Amino acid sequence: RVAYVNGLYVPHAEAAVHVEDRGYQFADGVYEVCEVRGGRMIDERRHMGRLQRSLRELRIVMPMSLGALGVVLRETIRRNRVRDGIVYLQVTRGVARRDHYFPAPDTPPSIVVTARASIPAKVPAPAISGAAVITVPDNRWDRVDIKTVGLLPNVLAKQAAKEAGAREAWFVRDGVVMEGGSTNAWIVTQAGAIVTRPAESGILRGITRTVLLEVANRLGLTVDERDFTLDEAFAAREAFISSASNVVVPIVSIDGKTIGDGKPGPVARSLRDSFYDVAEFARK
Ligand code: PLP
């Protein structure tokens, strides 16, 4: 395996950044995860758009042109022979003597790209069998719209989920479901409406979420972008989560309570089935 680190392709086992990298010391950086299918990135354009926004919000300069970055992403996928998997990209404010203030303006941002194939599932994929979620209080900062590497609340929440035998943890604030530790949250009401929280604040605007909203519209399904409460989720006909690495995973239980009939529902399935009709396949 090979990783791209600040201009060089190096053996993955030896890929390293400096101990005074601001990503390491302050979580002063952003990232993107893009699905790779058939060797092609899914929704590269949207992921790069979100990357630029995250960088702008944190006043980190874009380390290279989008064109050059595209070449690095493709080359990392190619060198790792990834057909189906993910490509990971991280940009930090660079290396400087530890000090909270931004480093000198000529400090180059650090950039790292890795790619790996998805592990073939030994057990039935959650996409087929459905998965469980637990809920946790949302103790994150209020700029979760920025895709920063500062993910400690997410790490703790997801570990709690794992220890409870669940796939994901949903952050709940004032009774309202915000999103998962690394996914957006959705329900289907008994009336059949697809509900997901507006992305104006309090959640990350998932690329998969954006594409699925378009998929739902094309399928003629009713979509309601609004807050939903945990009580509404308990009473929902279906629930599911979305992210670039998993697309759609049906949720069959929340905090141990069965959702719907306890089986993956038809709406989650049809959204998943039509996802790649709407998602953009980048060139190789
Ligand atoms: N919400 C959070 C907190 C995430 O970390 C992620 C992805 O990592 C998502 C939502 C889903 O976003 P996307 O569909 O762009 O992968």
Pocket test for ligand 1, best of 243, 245, 271 (most atoms within 8 A of CB): 243
Ligand 1 atom closest to the CA of 184, numbered from 1: 10
Residue nearest to atom 10 of ligand 1 (CA): 183
Residues 57 and 139 in one domain: no
* Residue bearing the CA closest to ligand 1, atom 1: 183
Query: pLDDT value at position 224?
Result: 97
Residue 184 CA to ligand 1 center (angstroms) comes to 6
Total tally of structural domains belonging to the chain: 2
Q: What is the DSSP string of 36-97?
A: EETTEEBSHHHHHHHHHHHHHHHTPPPSS-HHHHHHHHHHHHHHTT-SSEEEEEEEES-B-S
Lookup: tokens for 254: 């929340």
Atom 7 (ligand 1): residue with closest C-alpha? 182
Residues 232 and 151 in one domain: yes
Among 58, 85, 117, the domain boundary falls at 117
- Final residue in a domain of this structure, among 84, 117, 150: 117
For the domain that residue 247 is a member of, what is the CATH number? 3.20.10.10
Tell me the CA–centroid distance for residue 206 and ligand 1, in Å: 5
Is residue 251 in a domain?
A: yes
Annotated catalytic residue 147: yes
Instruction: Give residues with Cβ within 8 angstroms of 207, minimum separation 6.
Output: 43, 46, 47, 50, 244
Q: Which pLDDT belongs to residue 123?
A: 64
pLDDT, tens digit only, all 284 positions of the chain: 999 999 999 999 999 999 999 999 999 999 999 999 999 999 999 999 999 999 999 999 998 999 999 999 999 999 999 999 999 999 999 999 999 999 999 999 999 999 999 987 666 677 778 999 999 999 999 999 999 999 999 999 999 999 999 999 999 999 999 999 999 999 999 999 999 999 998 999 999 999 999 999 999 999 999 999 999 999 999 999 999 999 999 999 999 999 999 999 999 999 999 999 999 999 99
- What's the pLDDT score for residue 80? 98
Do 181 and 107 lie in one domain? The reply is no
**Domain span at 252:** 126-278
- Single out the catalytic residue among 122, 147, 263, 284: 147
Q: Which two tokens stand for residue 278?
A: 């709407």
CB-based pocket (< 6 A), ligand 1: 33, 179, 182-184, 204, 206-209, 242-244
> Quick one: which atom of ligand 1 is closest to the CA of 147?
5
- Output the residue whose Cα is nearest ligand 1's atom 3: 182
pLDDT score recorded for residue 122: 66
Q: State the closest ligand 1 atom to the C-alpha of 154, by its place in the atom list counted from 1.
A: 3
ipTM of the prediction: 0.99
DSSP H/E element including 129: helix 126-129
Q: Does residue 31 sit in the same domain as residue 154?
A: no
Is pTM beyond 0.95? Reply is yes
253 and 176 inside one domain: yes
Distance 66 CA to ligand 1 centre (A): 21
- Which phi and psi (to 5°) does residue 77 adopt? -65, -45
Query: What is residue 120's predicted lDDT score, i.e. its pLDDT?
Result: 74
- Pocket residue to mutate for ligand 1, from 41, 89, 183, 271, most atoms within 8 A of Cβ: 183
